[in-house]
Amino acid sequence: MRRTHHCSALTKKDVGKSVRLIGWIQSIRDHGGLIFVDLRDREGITQIVFDPKNNAYTALLPMLKDESVIEISGTVRLRPDDTANPHIATGEIEIIADTLKIYNIADTLPFPLEDSKADKVNEDLRFTYRYLDLRRPKNLRALRTRHRIAHTVRNYLDRQDFIEVELPYLFKTTPEGAREFLVPSRQNPGSFYALSQSPQQYKQMLMVAGIERYYSLARCFRDEDLRADRQQEFTQIDLEMSFIDREDIYALIEGMMKIVFKETLNRDIKTPFIRISFQEVMDRFGSDKPDTRFALELVDLSSVFKHSEFKIFRDCLEKGGSIKAINAKQLADITQGELKILEDIAKTLGAKGLAFIKYESGDWKSPILKFLSAKEKDALREILRIEDGDVVFFAASDWLHACTILGRIRLECVRLLVDHGHLSIPRDLFNFLWVIDFPLISFDENQGRYVSTHHPFTAPVEEDEEKLKTDPLHVRAQHYDIVLNGFEIGGGSIRIHNSELQSLVMRNVLKLDETTIRERFGYMLRAFKFGAPPHGGIAIGLDRLAAIICGTDSIRDVIAFPKTQKGQDLMAQTPSYASEKQLRELHITTVIPQEK
């Protein structure tokens, strides 16, 4: 390489050396007698000094703008003591330039690249010039951290005897999952591939093939509405193992997380992670991906209101429902506008309203107060530990629905508590847990049939297998989710590995028709008849994990070229329209015209 040093390499040990640097101009400062240039590359910054008396190249500097690319050669010298910069690695030295070579003169920047200023710039503008946005120190650090995670994971799994296998992106359509991206096949007119939502079926075939321990950093594609933690294309740390059980998975992933956090943040993560059943986690937190960095747990009050005069609560309990509540400590200063927002959120989840009680200056304040007896109020005060300044929120519905409503209200209350200055959540606190014992089967009201809670290849807990024929809703799955700070960062299961049990689930429980079974899963059922080993696996969301480690709320910040909320790449202007010639070659004759 022609470049002998990067812009963070030189120190006072290099004083007197002749060196050459190439990089981007961070800034140019004319101090009268001397001109100073901060030269930057991805590693750091070095100060360059041009002396007009001794350097003819100085005349070229006025034509240069920030972010122009130059090469300089010169001699390293110490900075005067009063000009040293302790905030950068090269802060004790500077280079007296002898030569200057201009590679590229930059145009005026569309936005400043300093992190503090660029963070305030509209995201669409930054994504239009993503190649500039990525030059920012914050974004370079994020990509570096993501690289470090991937590198650490690969080394860790290699030591655990895994084999990295690249699996196809082009798969077959499996419409029972998320919406798919379809790819027309030119060689097979009228037929389509689907971009793989995950390598689930392929990696199970690797287990049948005897690979025993597979992993890949798998690209996955889902045509979903985008959110802060969701993109249409994303990366999974995907793995599968033969001859293992759930305990093996827990130990493997906990070991992986321990070394990843040590390598990236120098943090020691406590293991083993706690494990909470789906039943308990919903009962306590109202979510199967709870953030446990704060308390604010749900409490069941069904026994308190068993004979209540409050008709809404009493009717709910008579129908077999539950009354759940949370005490948002010190949130009695909530405004009417904020209360309205909480009520609207509850209504979007199917609630008719959101009952609440404030306790301020020794007084109870609530629209439902007239329906509550003194005995009920005393019970609420004792069970919920109500103190001055608290506000209690209620949900009355069937158990799962009541938990889900209050789970969402819980998160909104935490946001308000932080905004009001009543709660602080340390950003460097990392609370891991496993959620286990999910229901294998759920009932879909819209379809009027049983559906897989996760996917149809998940094995039931062995002692629950007989219930598949008589009581499928109470069959527990050998499924497990790993949760970190309120985000599900991974999930997996022990798989069904014999064709008889897989057929029973598909035919008798899920009621899939024979054509669907044959066309979508026929090869799997056939493969299981040729000595399929017991196996299981998990997929960890690399993007989500990297975002949490980087301390950002959006996975877009750890993806080099993310899509916007509308699924667009503003830099490359995609998606775009295909030409008529391209469509004819794909045997596509009907196209919806572009809206004007």
Backbone φ and ψ for 420, nearest 5 degrees, come out as: -85, 0
274 to 196, 239, 427, 440, 481: CA distances (angstroms) = 32, 22, 20, 21, 12
Residue with more model confidence, 427 or 252: 252
Q: How confident is the model at residue 448 (pLDDT cuts 50, 70, 90)?
A: confident
pLDDT at 353 over 80: yes
pLDDT at 593 over 80: no
* Helical H segments across 134-180, by residue range: 137-159
pLDDT at 267 over 90: yes
Q: What is the reported pLDDT for 2? A: 46
pLDDT at 589 over 90: no
262 to 125, 144, 259, 266, 525: CA distances (angstroms) = 36, 15, 5, 4, 42
Q: What is the reported pLDDT for 479? A: 97
pLDDT at 594 over 60: no
Q: How confident is the model at residue 519 (pLDDT cuts 50, 70, 90)?
A: confident
pLDDT at 3 over 70: no
Question: Quick one: what percent of the chain has pLDDT higher than 70?
Answer: 98
How many helices, marked H, and strands, marked E, lie in the chain? 16, 23
302 to 71, 308, 318, 378, 398: CA distances (angstroms) = 74, 10, 10, 15, 11
What's the mean pLDDT in 339-358? 95
Cβ neighbours for 580, distance < 8 A, ≥ 6 positions apart: none
DSSP β-bridge partners for residue 539: 238, 491
What's the mean pLDDT in 355-360? 94
**Euclidean distance between the first and the last CA atom of the chain, given in angstroms as a whole number:** 52
DSSP calls for 296-317: ---EE-TTTTTT-S-HHHHHHH
pLDDT at 174 over 60: yes
DSSP calls for 574-587: BS-PPPHHHHHHTT
Hey, what amino acid is at 523?
Answer: Y
Give me the helix-helix angle, 399-419 and 336-348, nearest 10°.
150
DSSP calls for 22-70: EEEEEEEEE-SS-EEEEEEETTEEEEEEE-TTT-GGGGGGGG--TT-EE
DSSP calls for 86-134: TTSTTTTEEEEEEEEEEEEPPPPPSS--SHHHHTTS-HHHHHHTHHHHT
DSSP state of 593: P
Cβ neighbours for 314, distance < 8 A, ≥ 6 positions apart: 305, 307, 308
CA angle 401, 403, 404 (to 5 degrees): 65
Q: How confident is the model at residue 596 (pLDDT cuts 50, 70, 90)?
A: very low
Hey, what amino acid is at 554?
Answer: S
Query: What torsion, rounded to 10 degrees, do the Cα atoms 55, 59, 62, 64 define?
Result: -70
What are 98-127's pLDDT values in tens digits?
Answer: 999 999 999 999 999 999 999 999 999 999
pTM: 0.92
Lowest-pLDDT choice from 302-306, 447-451, 480-484:
447-451
Counting every residue written for the chain, the total comes to 596
Positive or negative, the Cα torsion across 349, 351, 353, 354? negative
DSSP state of 366: -
CA 263 to chain CA mean position, Å: 20
Choose from 27-36, 478-487, 504-513 the range with maximum mean pLDDT.
478-487
Q: What is the architecture of the domain spanning 294-419?
A: 2-Layer Sandwich (3.30)
What's the mean pLDDT in 344-368? 93
What are 381-427's pLDDT values in tens digits?
Answer: 999 999 999 999 999 999 999 999 999 999 999 999 999 999 999 88
pLDDT at 18 over 90: yes
Closest listed residue to residue 156, CA positions, set 265, 267, 272, 255:
255
Q: What is the reported pLDDT for 260? A: 98
What's the mean pLDDT in 183-194? 91
Q: What is the architecture of the domain spanning 12-104?
A: Beta Barrel (2.40)
Q: Are 39 and 7 in contact (CB under 8 A)?
A: yes
CA 17 to chain CA mean position, Å: 47
What's the mean pLDDT in 286-305? 95
Lowest-pLDDT choice from 69-83, 170-184, 351-365, 401-415:
170-184
Q: What is the reported pLDDT for 175? A: 65
Please state, rounded to an integer, the average pLDDT across all residues of the chain. 93
Positive or negative, the Cα torsion across 416, 422, 426, 432? negative
502 to 121, 458, 465, 547: CA distances (angstroms) = 53, 9, 12, 37
Q: What is the reported pLDDT for 1? A: 39
Q: Are 558 and 546 in contact (CB under 8 A)?
A: yes
Residue with more model confidence, 497 or 448: 497
Q: What is the reported pLDDT for 586? A: 86
- The domain spans of the chain are 12-104, 294-419
pLDDT at 379 over 90: yes
Between CA 419 and CA 417 the distance in angstroms is 5
Q: How confident is the model at residue 286 (pLDDT cuts 50, 70, 90)?
A: very high
Q: Give the burial string for 339-361 (b: 16+ CB within 10 Å, else e).
A: beebbebbeeeebeebbbbbbee
Q: Give the burial string for 266-302 (b: 16+ CB within 10 Å, else e).
A: eeebeeebeebebeebbbbbbbbbbbbebebebbbbb
Between CA 279 and CA 231 the distance in angstroms is 30
